[in-house]
Amino acid sequence: MSDLNLTRHLADLSGDIDPVETAEWRDAFQALVATHGPARARFVLDQLAVLARSPQVGWSPELVTPYVNTVPVERQPVFPGDLAIEEKLASLMRWNALAMVVRANAAYGELGGHIASYASAADLFEVGFNHFFRARNDRQGGDLVFFQPHSAPGVYARAFLEGRLTEADLAHYRQEITAPAAGARGLSSYPHPWLMPDFWQFPTGSMGIGPISSIYHARFMRYLTHRQLLDCEGRKVWGVFGDGEMDEPESMSALTLASREKLDNLVWVVNCNLQRLDGPVRGNGRIVDELEKLFRGAGWNVIKLLWGSDWDGLFARDTTGALVRAFAHTVDGQMQTFAAKDGRFNRDSFFGQNAELARLAQGMTDEQIDRLKRGGHDLVKIHAAYDAAARHTGQPTVILAHTKKGYGMGAAGQGRMTTHSQKKLDESDLLAFRNRFNLPLTDAQATTLAFHKPADDSPEMRYLHARRQALGGYLPKRQSACDVVPVPDLARYAQFALQAGGKEMSTTMAFVRLLGNLLKDDTPGPQGIAFRRRLVPIVADEARTFGMANLFKQVGIYSSVGQKYEPEDIGSVLSYREALDGQILEEGISEAGAIASWTAAATSYSVHGVPMLPFYIYYSMFGFQRVGDAIWAAADQRARGFLLGATSGRTTLGGEGLQHQDGSSHLVAATIPNCKAYDPAFAGEMAVIIDQGMREMLVEQKDVFYYVTLMNENYAQPDLPDAARAGVIRGGYRFGAYGEGAPQVTLMGSGAILTEVIRAAETLAAEGIASEVISVTSWSELAREAAAAGEGQTAHVTGLLGAATGPVIAATDYVRAVPEAIRAYVPAGRTYITLGTDGFGRSDTRAALRSYFGVDAPSVAQAAHAAVGLPSSS
Residues 354-399 pLDDT 10s: 999 999 999 899 999 999 999 999 999 999 999 999 999 999 999 9
Mean pLDDT of 546-556: 92
- pLDDT of 10: 33
Q: Determine the Cα–Cα distance for residues 745 and 762; give it in Å rounded to an integer.
A: 13
Going through 142-197 in order, the beta strands assigned E by DSSP cover 144-146
> Which pLDDT band, with edges at 50, 70 and 90, does 7 fall under?
very low
CA distances from 762 to 219, 268, 757 (A): 53, 62, 9
Q: Determine the Cα–Cα distance for residues 863 and 857; give it in Å rounded to an integer.
A: 10
**Is residue 202 scored above 90 in pLDDT?**
yes
Helix pair 152-162, 116-127: axis angle to 10 deg:
50
Q: Determine the Cα–Cα distance for residues 516 and 530; give it in Å rounded to an integer.
A: 15
Order of strands, edge to edge, in the sheet holding 732-738? 732-738, 771-776, 745-749, 808-811, 832-835
Task: List pLDDT tens digits, range 580-618.
Answer: 999 999 999 999 999 999 999 999 999 999 999 999 999
- pLDDT of 412: 63
Determine which helix (DSSP H) or strand (DSSP E) holds 421, and give its type and residue range: none
Checking DSSP bridges between strand 504-505 and strand 715-716, what pairing results, if any? antiparallel
Q: Cβ–Cβ contacts within 10 Å for residue 390, how many?
A: 15
Instruction: Kindly report the pTM of this predicted structure.
Output: 0.94
Range with lowest mean pLDDT among 18-32, 101-115, 282-296, 835-849: 101-115
> Which pLDDT band, with edges at 50, 70 and 90, does 57 fall under?
confident
Q: Could you tell me if 665 and 624 are in contact, meaning their C-beta atoms sit under 8 angstroms apart?
A: yes
Q: Could you tell me if 727 and 701 are in contact, meaning their C-beta atoms sit under 8 angstroms apart?
A: no
Q: Determine the Cα–Cα distance for residues 632 and 638; give it in Å rounded to an integer.
A: 10
Phi-psi region of 528 (alpha: psi -120 to 50; beta: other; left: phi over 0): left
What one-letter code names the amino acid at 172? H
- pLDDT of 59: 84
- pLDDT of 41: 93
> Which pLDDT band, with edges at 50, 70 and 90, does 2 fall under?
very low
- DSSP letter for each residue of 46-85: HHHHHHHTSTTT-----SPPPSS-SS-GGGPPPP-S-HHH
Range with lowest mean pLDDT among 294-308, 536-550, 683-697: 536-550
Task: List pLDDT tens digits, range 218-245.
Answer: 999 999 999 999 999 999 999 999 999 9
Helices (H) and strands (E) in the chain, counts: 34, 20
Q: Determine the Cα–Cα distance for residues 196 and 176; give it in Å rounded to an integer.
A: 10
559 exposure class (CB count in 10 Å sphere: 0-12, 13-18, 19+): middle
Q: Is the peptide bond before 476 cis (omega within 30 degrees of 0)?
A: yes
Q: Determine the Cα–Cα distance for residues 585 and 281; give it in Å rounded to an integer.
A: 35
Task: List pLDDT tens digits, range 480-526.
Answer: 999 999 999 999 999 999 999 999 999 999 999 999 999 999 999 99
> Which pLDDT band, with edges at 50, 70 and 90, does 413 fall under?
low
Determine which helix (DSSP H) or strand (DSSP E) holds 391, and give its type and residue range: helix 379-391
Q: Determine the Cα–Cα distance for residues 646 and 235; give it in Å rounded to an integer.
A: 36
- pLDDT of 340: 84
**Is residue 98 scored above 80 in pLDDT?**
yes
Q: Determine the Cα–Cα distance for residues 24 and 523; give it in Å rounded to an integer.
A: 73
Q: Could you tell me if 374 and 306 are in contact, meaning their C-beta atoms sit under 8 angstroms apart?
A: yes
- pLDDT of 76: 96
Q: Could you tell me if 573 and 642 are in contact, meaning their C-beta atoms sit under 8 angstroms apart?
A: no
Checking DSSP bridges between strand 832-835 and strand 266-272, what pairing results, if any? unpaired
Q: Could you tell me if 305 and 436 are in contact, meaning their C-beta atoms sit under 8 angstroms apart?
A: no
Determine which helix (DSSP H) or strand (DSSP E) holds 237, and give its type and residue range: strand 237-242
Q: Determine the Cα–Cα distance for residues 243 and 269; give it in Å rounded to an integer.
A: 10
Q: Determine the Cα–Cα distance for residues 233 and 238; give it in Å rounded to an integer.
A: 15
Q: Determine the Cα–Cα distance for residues 593 and 211; give it in Å rounded to an integer.
A: 11
- pLDDT of 37: 92
Task: Provide the mean pLDDT of the chain.
Answer: 93
- pLDDT of 569: 85
Task: List pLDDT tens digits, range 808-818.
Answer: 999 999 999 99
Task: List pLDDT tens digits, range 424-464.
Answer: 678 888 998 899 899 999 999 999 999 999 999 999 999 99
What one-letter code names the amino acid at 295? F
The gap between the terminal CA atoms of the chain, to the nearest Å, is 82
**Residues contacting residue 622 through CB under 8 Å, at least 6 positions apart:** 540, 591
Report DSSP state, residue 537: E
Name which residue leads in pLDDT, 684 or 110.
684
- pLDDT of 8: 30
**Is residue 744 scored above 90 in pLDDT?**
yes
- pLDDT of 421: 57
> Which pLDDT band, with edges at 50, 70 and 90, does 6 fall under?
very low
**Is residue 873 scored above 60 in pLDDT?**
no
